[in-house]
Structure 1
Amino acid sequence: MTTRLTIIRTRRFAAVIGLALAAGYGVAIPAQAETADTTEVLNDRISNDPGTEGAVEQKSYESEIEAYCANIADAARDQRYLRQKNELESLKVKVDERIAVLEQRRDEYEKWLGKRDDFMKVAEGTLVDIYKKMRPDAAAAQLSLINPGVAAAIVMKLNARLSSQILNEMDPEKAAGLAGIIANAAAAEQPKDPS
């Protein structure tokens, strides 16, 4: 309550001083006068005025306001940092949970991939044995209907004589496609020349 009264009194005092300067001293500012001259005249009259104590009180009041604002700014900054820290910690917890879920999924995927690879090895061995026992013309007809990558893998695992007979029985375009896949696979397996 006293702070509010002080503010009101200070504002009233400043208004009274302003009116007294303008009316009481008869300050007439011509339109053509330079602002520097009028400022000097006003400053001289204010400095000679016994009511300048209010200006000193106003300055001390302003310094108190600045100090108060500085103290509040520090507290507000601390609160902002604390809130940001809490937000970062909650985000870290969420990220850690997400990482745990992703690691669990990766482990499940690796297990599934291992089972699939084991199955494919068994299936490829069995599948190659089946094509070894087939006649070349029947094997060629079957291989032309399946995925070219799988067909090329099967032909690569057969002996050279049977592979050539099967490719001979196939449609020339399909046989050329399989031969291209086999050639690319063989080239990819060779180490690159470091020079």
Structure 2
Amino acid sequence: MTPCPATSPSPPRERPQPPRYPRPPHARRIVLAVAVLAAGALAATTARGQEAATPPDGVDTALAYCTNLADEASDARFARKAQTLKVLEEEVEARLNALEEKRTEYQNWLERREEFLQRAQESLVSIYSGMRPDAASAQLAVMDEFTAAAIVAQLTPRNASSVLNEMETEKAARLATIMATLGRGKDGRGA
């Protein structure tokens, strides 16, 4: 009799195996070498631990030497930091001195400007503005240049140009230079 195909036993299924990569021929040697090195390191660590547990003679001397050396190293670090701070402090002091010099310079400039503006009193300006340009220029030409420049700066532009036109060219140029440099306000415009 022939067995029925539905009832016939099926062959056992095989499990799929993961792919196997071929091992290099020296893989076992490498694993063995790593194991030997690990065992040696473990033994050395254990031996060092035992040596530390039982200190040999003279350890107190070595410990004292290390402690003294640590203090000297700390002192050296402190000395380097103190030296760095001293250098930085000197730089700051130099910058402060330079700043103080600039402040003094600006203070002197401001005082000269104030003096320049005070020289030209309103009454004196009104006198020169009422004079003929040739007479005013003759008097201003023999006057101190700063005072003359202050008076001309206070005149109306029309009177100032007439007076400067009647003066010698060099004298008028010097007065105009003085007015341009000292007559500027804080915003860069004339006073």
Does the pair score TM above 0.5?
A: no
Coarse TM-score class (shorter-chain normalised): 0.3 to 0.5
Point out the structure with max Rg over C-alpha.
2
The alignment's TM-score, normalised by the length of structure 2, stands at 0.37
Q: Which has the higher helix share?
A: 1
